[in-house]
Structure 1
Amino acid sequence: MKRVLLLATGDTIAHSRRPPHVASGAELLAALPSAAPAVEVVAEDVMAEPSWDTSPSTMLGLARRARSAILERGFDGVVITHGVDTLEDTAFLTDLLAGRAAERGGIVLTGAVHPMDDPSADGPRNLAASLAAAADPALRGAGAVVCVADGLHAARWATLADATSVAGFSSAPHPVLGHVTDGKVELRAVPPPRPPVTAGDPETDVALIKTYPGMDPVLLTAVVDAGARGVVLEGTGTANVPVDLFTTIGELTEWGIPVVVASRSRTREVPLDDLPLGSGLAGKMGAIGARGLPPSKARCALMVALGAGGVAAVRDWFARL
């Protein structure tokens, strides 16, 4: 029988309102529907902040526990229950750090938008589907995935598009990776390429700054003065940032602080230097393109890339992402 580790972090999937209660991992398993998958599940409770405030250290801890569960403890798969607010961030960071574990087992993250005692509770179904998916050999090699409403979304593509819907995650413009049907994984698309591996430890102190016309460049130097080892800028359009920031971007790059530019819009997975001159000017000043990643995921990627070294190493890592 397949063995799956359940890492339970609380949040909405484990909440009851009457009376107020946060279910343990064992209690989540006890609430599964009668048609739950026939797998051996070991539940472990993990202390974590609410999803909207999940710290980088907590995300990294979950990623490392998932990896070691497969590589060192012999589990066939791992399921992490998580609040939906930052589920996609933890999923992507877990994917970036999975390494060889992604080839040996399934890693699935899931959550819920309704509490356990809600008449429309979606948590039990999501957890049952996630356990089945994590144990299914079909997910080997796919990396970390998000499982909600029986859909499977590659961590690199998953986005919380509607925080009020039980099917609120989307992979658009990419396809849904697959579905869980009758306790089996049916893959419908080719997973994204596996990310590059780094030997060093990720850096947790990375700032994410939303840019806007007329912003003062001092905002960039302020976060560096406060200890940030890297900066992600959320630009507009095809990763445009205000011209007033160009000099500071160049200075930070010279100081060994990598600056990655993402966009609040969907963009192509190309380097900044490959964009037309007007859109790629930040790249001429030393900025690194986010390769189409949304800003929050670009932050996760920069955290991992900094484990490879300084600006040049980060630039090379993103070029292979």
Structure 2
Amino acid sequence: MYLSPRFRAFAAGAALLAASVLAQAQTLPNVVILATGGTIAGAGASAANSATYAAAKVPVDKLIAGLPELSKVASVKGEQVLQIASESFTNEDLLTLGKRVSALAKQGDVDGIVVTHGTDTLEETAYFLHLTVHTDKPIVVVGSMRPGTALSADGALNLYDAVNVAASQDAKGKGVLVTMNDEIHTGRDVAKAINIKTEAFKSQWGPLGMIVEGRNYWFRAPVKRHTMQSEFDIDQITALPQVDIAYGYGNVPASSVEAIGKGAKAIVHAGTGNGSVANRVVPALQKLREGGVQVIRSSRVNTGGFVLRNAEQPDDKYDWVVAHDLNPQKARILAMVALTKPLSAAELQRVFWEY
């Protein structure tokens, strides 16, 4: 069959273009997005609804399809692990997600992992993964404060930044990260500080870095134990013990601790100031400790809570533990993970200093 020189030239050019596209795809890092729901997968009734909407509505394939710019950053695949609002996360959900992240991290064809998550408990999941997944590959947890249907929605850029970080060699070995509002945070420190602004997530010691137009700028690195250096391994954890939080406030009754501590292996007391405990609550906590329940003093201070041992309360005398700089919800996560092993109060305190 005769082919004109012009057609042959066109065909050769098309073949070269296809080969170039294929070569580029083969050289791009491989990133898997594990979706769990939340606002980033939410939808509002109108574009004006930025704070009232239904969470966990949009599947991961649609999130990826709506962001074609990702194809220039990485070879991206999506997987729907859960589809829930994050306030409904359970311990079993943490284990399911953690084991899937760990399995993917072991694959040679996976360079980085992104977890999309609702913001309400995003900090807890990020810290859980930070403590239990043994890998130096980048793991990035990301969410949004506004649904994708809203004016000035933040989810698309947050997700784009998350994939950028997960695909980056310079993010390796830094533990689990959180990318929100152009900032890179460590999963250990970050916390949701406000609920109606896109700059909702803050770290008490500041972010690790920034992302500007797809480029990472790093300013510090985590120094506490995590991921590859952790003594806790998600692959060895089959269940998490019950750890509850009791909240301190003016006129708080002792019954608030007595009721919440039933069946718990540990109780985190979210105290005022330096983890202070009201005088009428101290005997109730002492009784729990005598019954084998670990007592951990934390602070309800929004950012910068720092609990000193044997200040406010004689922790050595009572055999209590202090949460160091971890907020109550982070202290609960660390206590759950640590108490999958039989630890004394002294050993548990060592864990709180090191992690």
TM over 0.5: yes
Q: State which of 233, 244, 247 in structure 2 corresponds to 1:207.
A: 244
Cross-structure match for 1:243: 279
When the two chains are superposed, the root-mean-square deviation of aligned CA atoms in Å is 2.3
Counterpart amino acid of residue 84 in structure 1? T
In structure 2, C-alpha distance between the alignment counterparts of 1:80 and 1:118, rounded to whole Å: 22
- Bigger radius of gyration: 2
Deviations 1:46-86 (A, max 9, x none): 22431222222212322232222112464211111111111
Deviations 1:194-243 (A, max 9, x none): 24423663624211110234433333333333x22211110011111112
Cross-structure match for 2:6: none
Cross-structure match for 2:141: 109
**What are structure 2's unaligned runs of at least 5 residues?**
1-27, 47-53
**Match status 1:254 vs 2:290:** yes
**Match status 1:194 vs 2:225:** yes
Cross-structure match for 1:17: 44
Counterpart amino acid of residue 275 in structure 2? A
Deviations 1:91-145 (A, max 9, x none): 11111112x31x2x11111111111122211111111110010111111111111
Query: Aligned in 2, Cα 1:89/1:54: closer, same or farther, shift over 3 Å?
Result: same
Alpha-carbon distance, 1:32 to partner = 1.0
The residue matched to 1:118 in structure 2 has which SS? Answer: coil
In structure 2, C-alpha distance between the alignment counterparts of 1:216 and 1:207, rounded to whole Å: 17
Which range is displaced more, 288-297 or 32-41?
Answer: 32-41
Q: Is the 8 A contact 1:249 1:286 kept in 2?
A: no
1:259-278 to 2 correspondences below 5 Å: 259-265=295-301, 266-268=304-306, 270=308, 272-273=309-310, 275=311
Cross-structure match for 2:335: 302
Which runs of structure 1 show a deviation greater than 4 angstroms over 4 or more consecutive aligned residues? 18-21
Aligned length: 311
Cross-structure match for 1:66: 101
Q: What's the % identity of the aligned pairs?
A: 28
1:64-103 to 2 correspondences below 5 Å: 64-72=99-107, 74-98=109-133, 100-101=134-135, 103=136
Alpha-carbon distance, 1:190 to partner = 2.1
Q: TM-score, normalized by length of structure 2?
A: 0.80
Q: Is the 8 A contact 1:33 1:124 kept in 2?
A: no
The residue matched to 1:303 in structure 2 has which SS? Answer: helix
In structure 2, C-alpha distance between the alignment counterparts of 1:36 and 1:180, rounded to whole Å: 18
In structure 1, C-alpha distance between the alignment counterparts of 2:212 and 2:109, rounded to whole Å: 26
Alpha-carbon distance, 1:3 to partner = 1.1
In structure 1, C-alpha distance between the alignment counterparts of 2:154 and 2:72, rounded to whole Å: 17
In structure 2, C-alpha distance between the alignment counterparts of 1:92 and 1:25, rounded to whole Å: 23
Which range is displaced more, 190-199 or 163-172?
Answer: 190-199
